[in-house]
Amino acid sequence: MHETLVVLAVLVLTVGAVLSAAAITVGWIAPGPGRAKVLRPRVWGYGTLVAMAGIGTFLFVGPLHGPDMDNFPVAMSGMAVFAAGLYVKQQAMKPARARKTAS
């Protein structure tokens, strides 16, 4: 069962990384109900990339690593990075600030 969970986690993280790379480089987001809410796809891509790094750290250092508690602070820092990525993704749904120009 452990091997199945590891394979599923790697699959989800890989899909997330590919979708974030597509959003960063081309500005493309996969079709779906949330697509219309994203106003800045590149920011969304960076947020997804940060979130995938955080949840990957949490999973592979924490629950999928084993029952020992030696890496607990590192796993929790991965969860904090994941939350930061979600915050960046939330900011991608807001319009960009208007820039002041000197005239």
How far apart, in whole angstroms, are the C-alpha atoms of residue 101 and residue 103? 6
Of 41, 42, 52, nearest to 10 (Cα)? Answer: 52
How far apart, in whole angstroms, are the C-alpha atoms of residue 68 and residue 18? 32
pLDDT at 88: 96
Break the chain into its structural domains and give their ranges.
2-12+34-91
pTM of the model: 0.86
Residue type, 82: F
- Tens-binned pLDDT, residue by residue, of the chain (103 aa): 879 999 999 999 999 999 999 999 999 999 988 888 999 999 999 999 999 999 999 998 888 777 777 888 898 999 999 999 999 999 999 988 877 777 6
For the chain, the helix, strand and coil percentages under 3-state DSSP, each to the nearest 5 = 65, 0, 35
pLDDT at 83: 97
